[in-house]
Structure 1
Amino acid sequence: MEYNSRKSVVAAIRSYTISRAVDYDVYESEPQTFYAKCKMYGCGCDWLIQASLIQKKSCWEIRRYNGRHMCTMGMISQDHSKLDSNIVAEAIRPLVETDPSIKVKSIIAKVQSRFNYTISYQKAWLAKQKSIAKVFGGWEDS
């Protein structure tokens, strides 16, 4: 697969692992390469992914992929380490645009229904603040 930026490759990998309820560790992260392995790599799961910048095409390409995870991550039950406040902020942006005074509990419920994870109050509050800043501008912009 090909991607137009490093950011989009990492976002696709994050999205995949969040939806599959598995996690990974970054094995190597350089400006022109990104390698990740399953947290259970070597313990029954051989999942890994390697993406690199292809200079000739000026795009990012998945160079190596070992297929699906063979592990079942029972550890990730409530929250996912890759489901950070930035991803949540993008997911709730339409809600914040229509109702900037939305309750944090409503945000937690929305994330629960969309990603099937229950995030912490702190993460939901931070995501709301980031989303408000993106929609309406931050203190510096004022």
Structure 2
Amino acid sequence: MGTISQDHAKLDSDTIVDAIRPLVEEDPSIKVKYVIVEVQGRFNYTVSYHKAWLVKQKAVAKVFGDWKVSYQTLPIWMKAMTVKMSGSRVQIKTLPVYRESENVQGVRVLHRIFWGFYTCIAAFRHCKPPVQVDGMHLYRKYKGALLVVVAQDGNQNIVPIAFAIVKGETADALDFFLTNLRRYVVTIDSVSIISDRHTSIDAAIARSNGAWSPQRTWHMYCTRHIGSNFLWKFKAPYLHKLMVNTGISTCCYGYIHSKFVASAYD
């Protein structure tokens, strides 16, 4: 009879969810267009993009739990991790809930969380001294930022050593992150911390009571971030190349180069 192009009232979402569930279990990030192809192949019927998107969200929630359930089970999951993987570190900060200026008893919401897997903490002992801090914005229903610290081993492999979920890259959030990083993971001195030029990390380092200050650590700016900002401002690829080469030069005072170049166009 050919392919039906309109939404079919009797082909409900539960039927489609059952059909695409194996795909979602294998790859939760499956693209909507592949969901449409799967439905068309099974039912000789093409669903609209909007309906396919809604069905995929429903399938993800059915397999992995919805957003609310995931956040509610986060403390339980973290507790299980520290029990089963002794030496892992977790710090959770919550906030009270208010309704019409009154505190709702027995209810708190996630504010920020820091964690480090024991295997990653142990691996850092065998990595090179520099560590790099970076953040990534989170989207979908709950906003925020994922903070990650990575190091490099002797074979030049990138090793993630600590993580945090915070509301945003603010001075308070980064202070929380760096404090726990110093307390539980990067406990040695004579290390360097690499970051972008976000003012919040400078503020967090300044309020660390010397934990991230010379001579215990050295703060360096990431050459890639500096190069990106340099090119955006000056639109000069040739100068951008020279600047990047300066930043990655094998000089014992390379961090001074990065600081100098970073401030040269302020």
Q: What TM bracket, shorter-length normalisation?
A: 0.3 to 0.5
Q: What's the TM-score once normalised by structure 1's chain length?
A: 0.45
Comparing both structures, which one devotes a greater share of its residues to helix? 2
Structure of higher CA gyration radius: 2
**TM-score between the two structures when normalised by the length of structure 2:** 0.25
Structure with higher RCO (Cα < 8 A, 6+ apart): 1
